[in-house]
Amino acid sequence: MTLAATPRTPAPAGDLARDLVAGFPFPFPQPTYRYSTNVEPARGTVTTPAGQWGDVVVDVDSAYAHELAQRADILRRDPSRYAVLPHMEVACWDAMVHLMRELALADPTAFSLETVSAPGAVRPAYRWRNALLDVDHTFTLGDAATLPAEPLAWIASQVQEDVVLLDERDGALFGDAGVVTFAADWSFGFDVGMSFLEIHGPVPRIHSEGVITRAQEFIRRLQPNETYRRTNWTLTIGRRLDVSTELYPEWGPDRTWVQTVDDATFGEVVHLRTEVQHLIRLPESGAVMFLIRSYLLPFAELALVEPWRVRTAEVLAELPEDMADYKGVATYRHRAAAWLREHGSTR
């Protein structure tokens, strides 16, 4: 892959909406970071120095319309970000209905799913309402002609999360369907159909330490409707959700460019990126739905929350080199740690 000749200067965060700071899922409970399964039951509220997060599985915030517009644009330019293998049709319907119910739980004033089928109907019919997008639509479960798009594609246009559906066969998990427009240095179009272990092949340490094998076994033991979550993190230059490998020529050079900028610009363009990942065993198909919601917080905002500033600097400074290299932060993480140490809160 050839790098772009001249990197495009990434946009700074600008004026970040307050709810995006208050709801930011800070990913560092300890001053050091190592790969682990780090799963916990979903829906538990996490209180932070800035606010709270975690009480819902599908999160809707002030970036909803903007992020969905980004997803639609990415899919127009690159349809490979959406893929469904033929045997996953039932799982896609299962995922769609489950996500509708999660949206209705998250905000019943904006979303609702109502059963409208007649008693004794062979297939249930539903009325789905999404007031934020002005959607009011009735459909019959399993009847593609009653939907405006394929079920997984349609519901993915209404949630901010990326969605991957894992099928289980021969004692292993496979990523056989999904909509992933906000990947952090990976490619769903390349990975679709691969096993769980193959998808995570490039990640350092997790194979030799048994982390990925334990993770797969944990997922395989999930019971219908059981929902767990974990967090992951990296750093991103600019407020860019789509840092997929397909677009590496656009964003890869920023890792070099950012080393040359002044301190003020550094704080505006370097973002801590947290993924909140949910694992859900779908009740009808038995597939596992893997949701990935990505959140970005610029260092300029992060530094205003004193415990976050101190902890992030500690983690970045101590991070082993192989892990820093895999996360793509090796070239500037020491400057990032130093920047955080020097820029305490002025509030």
Over the stretch 277-329, which tens digit does the pLDDT of each residue have?
A: 999 999 999 999 999 999 999 999 999 999 999 999 999 999 999 999 989 99
How far is C-alpha 31 from the chain's CA centre?
Answer: 23
228 lies in a domain? yes
Is residue 11 included in any domain, yes or no?
no
The mean pLDDT value for 166-188 works out to 94
User: Is residue 3 domain-resident?
Assistant: no
pLDDT digits (tens, 9 = 90+) for 36-49: 778 999 999 999 99
Instruction: Give the residue-averaged pLDDT of 163-174.
Output: 94
Please check whether residue 7 lies inside any domain of the structure: no
pLDDT digits (tens, 9 = 90+) for 221-238: 999 999 999 999 999 999
Work out the mean pLDDT of the chain and round it to a whole number: 92
Helix (H), strand (E) at residue 176: strand 172-179
Tally of domains in the chain: 1
- Does residue 9 surpass a pLDDT of 70? no
**pLDDT of the residue at 313:** 98
Domain contains 5: no
* Cα–Cα distance for residue pair 265/256, rounded to 1 Å: 14
Distances (CA, A) of 79 to 114, 154, 156, 279: 31, 14, 13, 25
Asked if residue 271 belongs to a domain, the reply is yes
Q: Looking at residue 8, what is its pLDDT? A: 45
Is residue 108 a part of any domain in this protein? Answer: yes
Residue 9 lies in a domain: no
125-129 LR contacts (CB < 8 Å, sep 24+): 126/97, 126/100, 128/100
Supply the range of the domain harboring residue 124. 18-342
pLDDT at 84 over 50: yes
> Is residue 213 over pLDDT 90?
no
Q: Is the dihedral of CA 204, 290, 31, 337 positive or negative?
A: positive
Let me know: does 70 contact 294? Beta carbons within 8 Å: no
Catalytic residues: 230
Higher pLDDT among residues 96 and 118, named by residue: 96
